Structure 1
Amino acid sequence: MCRIYEDMILEKIPNTRYEILNNQYETEQRELSKEIDGLEKAIKRYEKETNRAKKFIRLIERYDNFDELTPTIINEFVEKILIHERDRKGSQTANQKVEIYFNFIGNYEPPKEELSEEEMQKLREEEEKERVRKDRLHQNYLKRKANGKQKEYEDRYKARREKKKQDKLKVLKRAGIPVCEMQNILIE
């Protein structure tokens, strides 16, 4: 850059040529600065991710061998759990997507094993059969609901469930179990 400036001062190159070269150097300098900034950000991101991975590995090593899954362990591993809407409303067996975000690593999805073409076809056929079955069951439920049969069933079931609960309560009273403990047993 200095050399070009000196050549321009000594009139070895014309001013227009100097301006063209100067603009090229400035453009190149700006591009290099942007590239350096991008690389520095990438390095910082890499270092941050590496640090997070190391923390996660330390956490795994701490709980390498445990007999019982406690709320403390879950809280240390899990950042959040997202539960999405069911694919089909009103169905007990509808598919529902659940995402688990772990501390330090985020949403982890285990790698899926590669299936052969015939395995994929078989899986698609089974999924289609299951979808047709669910559609049929759902349509039957909607028909029962529309003609009032579902309400009758629920009322009968509710009466049976209440009777079971009362029978359990009688047995527990005879056994001398306190009322506060009865609630826990009845819920089961």
Structure 2
Amino acid sequence: MLSDDYEQEREELREKLLQLNEEMIQQEEQAENIDRFIGKVRKYLDLDELTPAVLNDMIKAVYVHAPDKLSGHREQQIDISYDLVGILPASLLADL
């Protein structure tokens, strides 16, 4: 009976450890991607012209949502998915 509880707790801890290791690997990959993205951004700091090559290098996808007319004005949300980091929140970009 006591050994059954011990074995169950041991298995739960083993699963938790595997889950935490997976999360740690994902966070390390995310940190590496952010570093690589920052390197790309630095490459284009003195950009004089926005070219298709630059866009292809920096942007993965552009999502244009259906227009919203509830406020009396036509508003349309556009999300840009950047290479390596995905969609950045508008609040983060507004602070730049």
Determine the structure 2 residue equivalent to 1:106.
Answer: 86
2:37 is aligned, of 45, 50, 56, to 56
Which stretches of structure 1, 4 residues or more, deviate above 6 A after TM superposition? none
Report how many residues are paired.
Answer: 91
Partner SS state of residue 25, structure 2: helix
Amino acid at match of 1:34: E
Q: Which has the higher helix share?
A: 1
1:29 aligns with 2:37: no
Unmatched 5+ residue regions in structure 1? 1-19, 114-188
> How far is 1:83 from its partner?
0.5
Which runs of structure 2 are paired with 1:36-185 in the superposition (5 Å)? 36-88=17-69, 94-111=74-91
Bigger relative contact order, structure 1 or 2, given CA contacts below 8 A and separation 6+? 2
TM-score scaled by length of structure 2: 0.85
Measured in 1, the distance between the counterparts of 2:86 and 2:31 equals 13
Larger-Rg structure: 1
Question: CA RMSD for the aligned pairs?
Answer: 1.9
> How far is 1:62 from its partner?
1.1
Measured in 1, the distance between the counterparts of 2:79 and 2:61 equals 8
Partner SS state of residue 62, structure 2: strand
Unmatched 5+ residue regions in structure 2? none
Measured in 1, the distance between the counterparts of 2:65 and 2:23 equals 33
Q: Deviations over 1:131-161 (max 9, x none)?
A: xxxxxxxxxxxxxxxxxxxxxxxxxxxxxxx
